[in-house]
Structure 1
């Protein structure tokens, strides 16, 4: 019997994921992540476990070094930049994610944010609540150009929905699929020609959207980020919005979450801000939680695990 730590906040004792893991003979320990933990808490939790199902909280090299029995970490989501993959591999810990589990949820939220920007819904509802009757100059999505940076499952799903709205879709990616009805362009062309720019790439070291990228965009364009907060230079975005370099932004993710209440982006009327919930429908949660649990079950049984990030590297290190 293995011990499986579960920190994803929407997974609970007695739910389908808990039942699935226990049906395979494993013991579960629930410690829902609700913001930053006290120093040492996550390390202590991992130290007593053989596997973990986590959301997006950090797993550092120090934590991994202090968890000798840990064999697998499964992210109940897509991004895994919060986990030190190099250190995990060095300690023989398999890391998995659940690609595609929340793609439809993310795509629908992306289109909702596009509509909020295009129709300036946030500004309008705020004005009505103040007793005003705003009649903003807005635009429709039909006939507009959407630039998608990245072509993972959510980027593909966004492209499908954008076509249904009558949008032209440009995509910048290192992995084009000729079967898709889109136009592939370099990133500079995408930034210059798009009315809306939506991020769906994997987070890397440097921001994808910095001051130079923002300067390439149309003054009437909007930026939408449902991927990772690290992909946008927030200081540069603040400057671009203040200088009217771009028209506005919709942000479901921030560099620090939750953001500081004094973050200037939160006070800007042209910014729509939500709480990292693009992939958090009940259907997506069920799919992601189940996929993560199945990866843990497979890995603990010595079978190939779906969504494995470093499987070949870990296999080479094992005797």
Structure 2
């Protein structure tokens, strides 16, 4: 019996490279693009008889997993997996995979774009010209400024490389310190409080978990320079959005740039839309042709290996693999 694979990432489609990969291995892909926020009940309906899923950010909760007894593998076309109850998946022997570093260049470039957007008031200047005006909004240079990086993994390092080329002073908050990299790019490892106090720009590159949720709260925003800019291209929940909005309104910090939000899509009536010193984009940091192509292929390769009972390249819960009872043929 052919195994069904559910594909929800909006950029994957029938006839594409991933589709050919799955069919060549004898799997039957079905496509249900997640165009809006998907409910648990909607997801449960899609998982009937499904052995593996290549997903975006659907809510794979304990309830969803309990209702999908045939599911053996969840493979993310991205880095974050906070929408998946990994503990519940592990308990049920479901392998969870992600695709780390596939979008690191894309996200790093977008981070620099957001920094420049804040520093040079890019949107205001472009909007002024498009409206037929010629008022100039004076900005500030990145050269000589201090960039604090909360997280110096794959993406954080790519941001550091680019910021180094701009002549910025680099601080990093990172548990696993790469001293060779730090020496090459002039990175100084510091604690978070030091980064908050000394950074002109603070850029977040952290996963969302119990330790990092609302890491940037009212107390920590108050420790930043009044002239500082906060940039988040990681996960929306790392920042307490209510506290950030208040800090921006009151001038606690000068500006912020967000590519990610606690609720996505961001509601049209969100109070964030009214903030003139907030630059926002719709979670597009990793949305490039190159990053999407690579993430789709890597996610498919992870899923194929896992469904064959082999170790995928990037399992989130590798402890499941040695004892998993899912090794079956594709047909």
* TM-score, length of structure 1 as denominator length: 0.97
Q: What are the within-5 Å matches in structure 2 for residues 253-292 of structure 1?
A: 253-292=260-299
1:185 aligns with 2:186: no
Aligned pair partner of 2:314 in 301, 307, 319 = 307
Q: Which moved more, 1:148-157 or 1:73-82?
A: 148-157
Of residues 75-84 and 58-67 in structure 1, the stretch that sits farther from structure 2 once superposed is 58-67
The Cα of 1:169 is off from its aligned counterpart by 1.1
Q: Which blocks of at least 5 consecutive residues in structure 1 are unaligned? A: none
Distance of 1:123 and 1:222 partners within structure 2: 16
Match of 1:223 among 205, 225, 230: 230
Deviation per CA, 1:27-75: give whole Å up to 9, x if none: 1010000112355121121232000000112111111001111110000
**Unaligned residue ranges in structure 2 (runs of 5+):** 327-331
Contact 2:21 2:300 in 1 (8 A): yes
Partner of 1:235: 242
The answer to whether 1:113 aligns with 2:114 is yes
Check the 8 A contact 2:39/2:59 in 1, yes or no. Answer: no
2:81 corresponds to: 80
| Match runs of 1:30-45 below 5 Å | 30-37=31-38, 40-45=41-46
TM-score calculated relative to the size of structure 2: 0.93
Q: Does the 8 A contact of 2:40 with 2:59 survive in 1? A: no
Question: Matched residues in 2 for 1:192 and 1:240: separation?
Answer: 15
- For residues 188 and 165 of structure 1, the distance between their equivalents in structure 2, rounded to whole angstroms, comes to 24
Aligned to 1:172: 173
8 Å Cα contact 2:79-2:101 kept in structure 1: yes
Question: Do the aligned residues in 2 keep the contact of 1:196 with 1:223 (CA within 8 Å)?
Answer: yes
CA contact (8 A) 1:89 1:314 kept: no
Work out the CA distance in 1 between the residues paired with 2:153 and 2:47. Answer: 30
CA drift of 1:314 comes to 5.2
Measure, in 2, the Cα distance between the counterparts of 1:213 and 1:313. 38
**Superposition deviation, residue 152 in structure 1:** 1.7
Rounded Cα–Cα distance in structure 1 between residues aligned with 2:110 and 2:284: 8
User: Partners of 2:37 and 2:272 in 1: how far apart?
Assistant: 22
2:300 paired residue number: 293
| RMSD over equivalenced CA pairs, Å | 1.4
